[in-house]
Structure 1
Amino acid sequence: MLQRRTFLAGGLSAVALTGAARLTAQAAPGDSAYVMGYFTESPSKLADRYALHLAVSPDGLTWTPLNQNNPVATPTAGTGGLRDPFIMRKQSGGFVVLATDLTGTDFTRQNQYIHAWDSPDLRSFTGYRRLKMHSMPTHTWAPEAFWDAARGQYGIVYSANSGGRDGIWVNYTTDFVTIGAPQLFFDPGFNVLDATVHVGSGTNFLYYKSFTDGRLYGARSSTLNPRSFTTYTSGVVNGGIEAPIVVKANDRNEWWLWGDSFSPVNGELYAWRSGDINTNSWTPLTKAQYSQPLNAKHPTICPITATEHANLLSRWGAPAWNRIKSYNFPDHVIRHADNAARIDPYPFDPYQDSQWRLVAGLASSSGVSFRSVNFPDRYLRHAGYVVGLAANDGSAAFAADATFHRVPGLANGAWTSFRSHNFPDRHLRHANYVLRIDPISTTADRADATFQIGY
């Protein structure tokens, strides 16, 4: 997402805005997993990294960040930073990566260029270059690409402003080196933001955010020709959501629509599902049904094979830390704050307060202890049944208080609960958002004591 905003009296936003088409790569025979590309931001800018990050998922909903959630590629020219990365498998094999040439949030900056890399397998990145897309005195935001079989060319789409209105522009290419002249691709007559196109068999779908009413809409076309898409849905969602992408499940007729909140202060991703994209029916998913990479912004999702999924994990590695989600408050994660242990809604800074190394239990190797990432000499331990963060004093009492045993989730066996080592009739739970160990007897208690270990 990239945007320009002006503000009216009373805090109302009059948005004169960007748009950029996000063309999701299509699954091919053999694809059974997914890779996500993104950059990172957090509320107090502690996680602001304008470079390419990667995460993988076997199901398209639960994501594992790679390389400890650190960048895997960083631009070396232009502004030296990127936003809005896009990953696509090329017809000849291998991948192309495109991105906006912009670091930080200076959305007034004019730039006619985008970043580009080639990659055989997303384990290395070569041929870095900047591509000039046009000569207009405007931006070039959220570039993506699609294969137009009828033309035998790729279309690179992006947002640019012409005549005082942001629309979606396209340049055609065969090699992502030599670029054709810009053409207007999508312009419904008003400012739009971050359109996403799914290239289908017979029908192609374009989703975008309208700044007439702030809603996400879907359009469709029997071709991929410029100016051929017509809106066919009512508004999917109203609110501070943008940067939509459409992804089809690799193995069934199920679709996901992802959206990004426009501010790092509310920097989270949202998801909806549909059993038939033609029906104008999207159901929101809860945070219990999906996850996102930590601090991820404006992502791209590309289908990959199981072998590629395994190779990416082998090359970059899964995180050495975990985040732990509440079952009945799935937008909340376990964190420490002033040494108190609690659950709070994501996102927040310092984001490291929610990162834990689940190590062998200090009192029993069959259990686990929660070691803080940003205070590595401190662990979660209970005292007077209340759980807090404390430095390990080496005592047997501390070790016992800081050790828990994983058991199937008391409210959902696919999740996890944690039984106290030295008070085995008590489990870790939250009460008024504060962590403690208590006996568990009611349905509400079981929900409070159930968690999901993720990233």
Structure 2
Amino acid sequence: MPLSRREFHRLAALGTLTAAAGGAAVLGAPPAALAADSAYVFGYFKETPNQSGDSYALHLAVSTDGLNWRPLNQNNPVATPTAGTLGLRDPFILRKRDGTFVVLATDLRGRIFTENNQYLHVWDSTDLRGFTGYRRIRMHGLATHTWAPTAFWVASRNQYAIVYSANNGADVFMVNYTSDFRTVSANQVYHSPGFPVLDADVVVDGSTFYMYYKNLADGLIYGARSSTGAPRSYTDYTGGLRQGGAIEAPMLVRNNTGSGWRLWGDSFSPVNNDYYAWSTSNVGGNAWTPLHQRDYTPPLNAKHGSIVGITSAEYDGLVSRWGLPAWVRLKSYNFPDRYVRHAGGIARIDAYPFDPHQDQLWRMVPGLADPAGVSFASINLPGRFLRHSDYAIRLDTDDGTATFRADATFTRVAGLADPTWSSWRSHNFPDRYLRHSGYVLRIDPLSAASSAADRQDATFRIS
């Protein structure tokens, strides 16, 4: 059966195609073709504004659509360095040619960026359900850092390239080549365009190498490409991208279906929004469209990571091994940077990130007054539930009365503004729905005839 165009490029990027007689593309010797990717895994570390949620270790989240992410292992680490600084930043997950994975990461704990380090953390993994062979590899002998690695297969060299940020008198990208992620070639400059650069991500698509990175001179994300992937061979073709006040750490991701691509950018600071995203149907066309924050939900507290496609079997294996969260967040439809949280006993929507970040985490339990409904139990204040009192939503302790149970019970219905989202009808005032007004939650009478703004106020995504 002929290979599809998508599978052709996918296998070419893995280096598994060789030329047959007559120029036809056929599968070469091992590795064998892999099953088609149908989901995604996101590797990252964590930070929060007051550092209470910081975790300089490897975390994983999964997604079936590549947009909305659910942390694994209750957003606890799945691997932690045991050497060097005992912390990591900027983890990068690469699927190797044999179908297994390698994880690379910056050897740095915390937010002090003056420390020089010549090493990267490395783990091997068959399926991301376990991590073995932990080691550090020395990338250079310079008095500088080794930040934000990316790695990819270079068929012309029959080796992998490891590209990272360093400084040899200027902020540049360095490269070392390797066959086994244990020994590496001597470092050399990979890209130095005449202005300082940071955070490269390189993806090979067919015969073209695409590199997205941050230009430190103007704070924008640039795109460059090369037909060989060789050092100093890239030409910029995207003039600069940014959403929000500051952005870095681009992640270039090929969609599992179709020919589309997404580009993610991490906010510069943990006190700002965590991620922004763009999409395009043609990665080489210099036409990126910003995605609305309503369309995606990054992993909770995630910072500077990487995204890779996985198969449905790998997705199921990760969920089985690590588990999905025992909690949910409720994201506002018309203020998608805001989440339902409690503060001083009052329920409201606030722009994330904030601390304590646990104020936005809820256990959805069978309704206290009707198990067909739902009650929202606080994660960090056990025994307390969202309930209405004089139509205002509060976080109160269950007093065991029938009135409390009814006030704390809601019925989930299709979102009043968008049926793919959710709205919540009061159990004991069934003409009233949970909504925000002035960012504070309450229950008000709503119907299909209500204004669009009112219906949007009453629509939330479970994430």
| Same structural fold, with TM-score higher than 0.5 when normalized by the shorter chain | yes
Answer yes or no: is the 8 Å Cα contact 1:267–1:295 preserved in 2.
Answer: no
Counterpart-to-counterpart distance in 2, 1:352 and 1:40: 14
Counterpart-to-counterpart distance in 2, 1:249 and 1:93: 18
Instruction: Give 1:46-445 correspondences, 5 Å limit.
Output: 46-162=52-168, 164-237=169-242, 239-440=245-446, 441-445=450-454
Counterpart-to-counterpart distance in 1, 2:433 and 2:99: 51
Cα deviation for residue 237 of structure 1 reads 2.2
Cα deviation for residue 93 of structure 1 reads 2.7
Answer yes or no: is the 8 Å Cα contact 1:381–1:389 preserved in 2.
Answer: yes
Counterpart-to-counterpart distance in 1, 2:229 and 2:278: 25
Counterpart-to-counterpart distance in 2, 1:97 and 1:429: 43
Cα deviation for residue 185 of structure 1 reads 0.6
Cα deviation for residue 397 of structure 1 reads 0.4
- What CA deviation, in whole Å up to 9, does each residue of 1:30-89 have, x standing for no partner? 111110000000001111000000001111111110000000000000000000000011
Counterpart-to-counterpart distance in 2, 1:28 and 1:35: 16
Counterpart-to-counterpart distance in 1, 2:185 and 2:175: 9
SS in 1 for 2:381: coil
Cα deviation for residue 215 of structure 1 reads 1.3
- What CA deviation, in whole Å up to 9, does each residue of 1:333-364 have, x standing for no partner? 00000010000111100000000000000000
SS in 2 for 1:189: coil
Cα deviation for residue 212 of structure 1 reads 2.1
Give identity over the alignment, percent. 62
* Deviates further, 422-431 or 28-37: 28-37
SS in 2 for 1:279: coil
If the length of structure 1 is used for normalisation, what is the TM-score?
0.93
Structure 1: stretches of 5+ with no match in the other structure = 1-24
Answer yes or no: is the 8 Å Cα contact 1:261–1:269 preserved in 2.
Answer: yes
Answer yes or no: is the 8 Å Cα contact 2:42–2:305 preserved in 1.
Answer: yes
- What CA deviation, in whole Å up to 9, does each residue of 1:361-398 have, x standing for no partner? 00000000000000011000000000010000010000
Answer yes or no: is the 8 Å Cα contact 2:151–2:202 preserved in 1.
Answer: no
* Counterpart in the other structure of 2:457: 448
If the length of structure 2 is used for normalisation, what is the TM-score?
0.91
Cα deviation for residue 202 of structure 1 reads 2.1
Cα deviation for residue 29 of structure 1 reads 5.0
- What CA deviation, in whole Å up to 9, does each residue of 1:237-284 have, x standing for no partner? 264000001001011111100000111111511101111112211111
* Deviates further, 86-95 or 397-406: 86-95
- What CA deviation, in whole Å up to 9, does each residue of 1:150-208 have, x standing for no partner? 1100111111110x211111111100111111011111011011122221112221111
Answer yes or no: is the 8 Å Cα contact 1:42–1:267 preserved in 2.
Answer: no
Q: How many residues align?
A: 429
SS in 1 for 2:205: coil
Counterpart-to-counterpart distance in 1, 2:154 and 2:222: 23
Residue in structure 1 matching 2:43, options 30, 37, 40: 37
Counterpart-to-counterpart distance in 1, 2:444 and 2:162: 57
Answer yes or no: is the 8 Å Cα contact 2:153–2:160 preserved in 1.
Answer: yes
* Deviates further, 441-450 or 390-399: 441-450
SS in 1 for 2:423: strand
* Root mean square deviation, CA, Å: 1.2
Counterpart-to-counterpart distance in 2, 1:154 and 1:142: 16
Cα deviation for residue 444 of structure 1 reads 1.5
Counterpart-to-counterpart distance in 2, 1:312 and 1:418: 31
Counterpart-to-counterpart distance in 2, 1:361 and 1:286: 33
Cα deviation for residue 143 of structure 1 reads 1.5
Cα deviation for residue 28 of structure 1 reads 5.9
Greater RCO structure (CA 8 Å; 6+ sep): 1
Shift in alpha-carbon separation, 1:429–1:267, aligned structure 2, 3 A: closer
Amino acid paired to 1:271: A
Counterpart-to-counterpart distance in 1, 2:184 and 2:199: 22
